[in-house]
């Protein structure tokens, strides 16, 4: 079994993570993957092992996360035009899985799917990073829609503008 990381104790964290935590950033949960590397969830980000280092994913950049209990696999998907899937097999998930779910949901202030062409559409999501007022907006197109098509682009822009207006952003 790999090293155990204690909740809320910066001294128990790997040095590479501890040195990069922002002032006031709080550790909420941690777990160890099958290679003995730590995953750490803070109030602001998820730290995933990336070779000999760690990758920081701000909660506002996580599109979704899932847990497969049979396989002990945590999958985290970074949003964006080319989503990145991070899959990690955990020795013991502890509270980490629930914290990840809660944090991913907590930053979402707006989410709506709108049809653009038949059964295809766009999901507009507004996420507010912890401790910030500014909302990060994303438009996720269904398969088969092309953002370079001027008509699709205009409709997506209109959906984002309508969401921003409704939220007051």
More confident position, 127 or 50: 127
Element (H, E) at 81: none
Distance CA 108, CA 129 (A): 9
Question: pLDDT for 63-109, tens place per residue?
Answer: 999 999 999 999 999 987 678 999 999 998 989 999 999 999 999 99
- Ordered domains of the chain (ranges, CATH): 10-106 (2.30.29.30), 108-167 (no CATH)
Longest dimension (CA), the chain: 55
Classified as helix, coil or strand, 119 is coil
Q: Tell me: the pLDDT tens digits for 122-141?
A: 999 999 998 889 999 999 99
């Amino acid at each position: 079994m790999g090293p155990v990381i204690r909740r809320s104790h910066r001294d128990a964290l790997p040095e590479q993570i501890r040195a990069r935590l922002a002032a006031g950033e709080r550790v909420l949960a941690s777990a160890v993957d099958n290679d003995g590397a730590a995953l750490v969830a803070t109030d602001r980000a998820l730290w995933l092992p990336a070779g000999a280092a760690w990758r920081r994913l701000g909660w506002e950049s996580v599109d979704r996360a899932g847990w497969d209990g049979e396989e002990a696999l945590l999958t985290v998907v970074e949003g964006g035009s080319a989503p990145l899937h991070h899959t990690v097999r955990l020795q013991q998930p502890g509270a980490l899985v629930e914290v990840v779910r809660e944090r991913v949901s907590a930053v979402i202030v707006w989410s709506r799917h709108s049809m653009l062409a038949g059964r295809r559409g766009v999901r507009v999501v507004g996420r507010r990073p912890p401790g910030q007022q500014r909302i990060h907006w994303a438009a996720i197109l269904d398969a088969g829609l092309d953002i370079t098509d001027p008509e699709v682009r205009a409709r997506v822009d209109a959906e984002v503008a309508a969401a921003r207006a409704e939220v007051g952003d």
